[in-house]
Amino acid sequence: MDLSRRDFTRIGAVSLAASLSPTLVAQSAPGRKIGYCIIGLGRISDLFMAGVQSSPNSRVVALVSGHPEKAARYAEKYGIPASSIYNYQNMDAIRSNPAIDAVYIGLPNSMHAEYTIRSARAGKHVLCEKPMATTVAEGEQMIATCRDANVKLMIAYRCHYETTHQRVVKLLRSGALGKINLIQSAFGFSCDGNDWRVKKALAGHGPLFDVGIYCLNACRYLTGEEPSQISAYAFSDPSDPRFTEVEESVTWTMKFPSGALASCATTFGGQMEGYFRVYTNRGWLEVSPAFGYDGLHLRAEYLPEGGPFTTLDEPNPEKSPYHFTLEANHFSTCVLENRTPKSPGEEGLRDMVYLTQILRSAGIPA
């Protein structure tokens, strides 16, 4: 949680290389594929499993679900034997299933800690969806348990492994755009009132934890810095029955040690396509859309030192679920080669700290 910027950059550089180089896997473990047990069979797990199918070093080998028919359907799709289908009661038995190297946790936020901890105690590496947890304390416990169990913990920040985001980070680090002055970012959508995302017991909090976290995390990897000051406002329409348990909208501003300033917004109250725009002393760069599963589009205009004036207009042609393939590749490589993931538990915990600060600044107990 208290990594210095140098540590952060070093981790980033190592795993950037790892995730970009398809040869690494082949060199270190020819033919070996990491076997994943998928915990929770919602939309995100569906995408992850589809992504794994395209991965050279990953495969789906087991399922944990409370819905036997759904589990049977996926088992058939991915050739999983009945003996590798678990439910939430008996899932600790994954310990004795040697086909399972790692778990992927695609459950509602409030279940991340419990299932990370149970999986770690069963001796399995853990790839857990974001947000890592619903509180900082849970996050710390997850990290400690995984460390004690000697298993890896990665938080599924898929944008860390996505090609447009990686290109943007490299471009900014190259210095071509100079110094970052300001960032604006937003991500939100109109959430259904029956969604677990608006139930406090399942989600912990509202749009900030679900999609606002993309903006927060992006500001951190775009700047390569940790925010030194945070200020926020939140609002919930009192007449909207969706927002009795969690907040509807949050805006927050961050100041980074370099002086870079960032303004972000998130909502469950209406469509808000995810994007970020970076303003520098040499131009600007935006990815819009930035956080969807495909269709990412990079645009930029800048004058590098020594020129020439540069215009970028780069739609990313990759199709969903390529994010998940790249994410699975990375975690499997880390397991195969005993490396630290680019987005370890500590990275998730940092966001938990900032998410909590944002909520408190907005007057929401957290």
In the complex, the residues that contact a second copy under the rule CB under 8 A are 178-179, 181-182, 184, 186, 188, 190, 229, 231-237, 248-253, 255, 259-265, 267, 269-273, 279-284, 301
**Least distance (Å) between residue 230 CB and a second copy:** 10
**Least distance (Å) between residue 37 CB and a second copy:** 39
- Closer CB to a second copy, 102 or 232, in the complex: 232
Is the peptide bond preceding residue 289 cis, with omega within 30 degrees of 0?
yes
- Closer CB to a second copy, 87 or 190, in the complex: 190
- Closer CB to a second copy, 102 or 272, in the complex: 272
Cβ contacts of residue 191 below 8 Å, gap of 6+? 197, 198, 207, 242, 268, 269
Within 225-281, strands assigned E span: 229-235, 249-255, 261-267, 269-280
**Least distance (Å) between residue 209 CB and a second copy:** 17
Strand partners, 103: 37, 126
Closest CA to 266 of 182, 345, 359: 359
Distance CA(298)–CA(141), nearest Å, equals 38
Distance CA(253)–CA(231), nearest Å, equals 5
239 residue type, one letter:
S
Structure tokens at 40: 């929770």
- Closer CB to a second copy, 257 or 317, in the complex: 257
- Closer CB to a second copy, 70 or 277, in the complex: 277
**Least distance (Å) between residue 211 CB and a second copy:** 13
- Closer CB to a second copy, 136 or 300, in the complex: 300
Distance CA(278)–CA(177), nearest Å, equals 10
**Least distance (Å) between residue 222 CB and a second copy:** 15
Residue 158 carries which DSSP code?
G
Cβ contacts of residue 285 below 8 Å, gap of 6+? 168, 171, 172, 177, 277, 278, 298, 299, 300, 302, 312
Catalytic residues: 130, 214
Structure tokens at 14: 């190592």
Structure tokens at 360: 């408190």
**Least distance (Å) between residue 253 CB and a second copy:** 5
Residue the block writes with tokens 């952060």: 8
Strand partners, 266: 187, 250
Is the peptide bond preceding residue 227 cis, with omega within 30 degrees of 0?
no
